[in-house]
A and B are shown apart, each in its own frame.
Chain A
Amino acid sequence: MAGSDGHAKAPAWTKGAGRRTAFLRGVMSAPTTPGLFILFFAMIGFGALARDAGFGAGEAVFITASLFQLPGQVALVDQFGRGATIAAAAFAVALTAIRLLPMTVVLMPYLRGSGLPRWLEYASVHFVAITAWVESLKRLPAIPVPLRLPFYLGFAGVLCVSTITATFVGYHVAGQVSPLVSAALLFLTPIYFVCSLVATSTSSADYWAVLIGTVLGPILFLYLPGLDLLLTGLIGGTLAYFIGRWRRK
């Protein structure tokens, strides 16, 4: 049964491995991922931003740990910094979080079937954010079904601890780096995300989704701010799906 779903060749360590081994392999694979370092630097940028917006170090770390999704964290801090109303801040954060729904739907089929309790599946999706998502989509299909959730928990656990550390570090180095370095830190996230999106694309529909989403995102942001991300996903994704379906025939 293990590894019988035929996506890719299972890594050598999975032979006869148990959950504990899979968890440790997940932990060990994190430092070999460029994404970990990029996320680390991006979160340093967030720590600096939170300080600029007037938050305390503990609050900045709390935001990272409890949201674990950078766009939402930025939206929350940004809204506070601009003195927005509580309702506006909540709405902005909720809008950035809607994307987590389809992302979780895509990841869940790979996390099921480990024989671990249901609540652990619900708890494990706290780590669903772009980095953990793209890296998991790259790695999990090759890993035998029962070992996927433990591997993912080990991997995502390291990401979580790293982001918390980075937020703390960023908070304390804020104001000590040049504006150019700050700009480079903020640029890391989009360039890493776009390469990752191409890396996790497995069909022509996915490639078209990257292209159409890139063009549509800024246009919709100009004309329909607030709903732009949701509409970019629905319109761009549906268009890409039909192009992909047409090309499959």
Chain B
Amino acid sequence: MTAGLLDQGLTTYVMLLLLGAVMTEPWRWAGVWLARDLDVESEVFRWVKAVSTALVAGLVARMVVFPIGALAEVAPWIRYAAFGAGLAVYVFAGRHILWGVLAGTATLLLATAWLGQ
């Protein structure tokens, strides 16, 4: 009985390792390998940086436009307004990331609390 449970527990961890770390870590190692002779002033580097920046920006936009979990219950216009407000405060109020994050989150909380869905 106990051995069975332990066995099941181990199987879960091995499966999580195969589905998680094994799918994730090789991309990082490939990055180390590909970066061997790369110069930060080179054109290739500029291009790779633009690609990774666009990719992360796309991921961010997806989290706001097509959210999961509790954020999906918040009305889309409130999510967009909060996102825009946070970014605007960051850019125009001295470029402090914390202020941008607080402004965006406060907009989300207040708009949802007062205006509902």
Contacts and interface: CB of A to CB of B under 8 A. Distances in A.
A241 B49 CA distance: 9
A190 B64 contact: yes
Chain A interface size, under 10 / 10 to 19 / 20 to 34 / 35 or more: 35 or more
A105 B60 contact: no
A229 to B, nearest CB: 6
A59 B21 contact: no
Given A86-B19, A201-B53, A220-B58, A186 B70 contact: yes
A63 B16 contact: yes
Q: Which of B12, B13, B59, B98 has the most CB of A within 10 A?
A: B59
B108 A184 contact: yes
A34 B71 contact: no
Given A67-B24, A203-B46, A240-B50, A233 B55 contact: yes
Interface string A27-43: 00000001100100000
Given A182-B69, A244-B50, A108 B32 contact: yes
Contacts of A108: 31-32, 35, 38
Contacts of B55: 99, 102, 213, 229-230, 232-233, 236-237
B54 A236 contact: yes
B68 interface: yes
A195 B113 CA distance: 25
A194 B74 contact: no
A110 B39 CA distance: 10
A238 interface: yes
B53 A213 contact: yes
Contact of B27 (A104, A184, A203, A229): A104
Contact of B70 (A63, A67, A183, A209): A183
B50 A69 contact: no
Nearest to B51: A237
Interface of B: 12-13, 15-21, 23-25, 27-32, 34-35, 38-40, 43, 45-71, 73-74, 79, 82-83, 86-87, 90-91, 95, 97-98, 100-101, 104-105, 108-109, 112-113
Interface of A: 34-35, 38, 45, 49, 52, 59, 62-63, 66-67, 69, 71-74, 76, 78, 86, 89-90, 93-94, 97-110, 121-122, 125-126, 128, 130, 179-180, 182-201, 203, 205-206, 208-218, 220-221, 228-230, 232-238, 240-241, 244-245
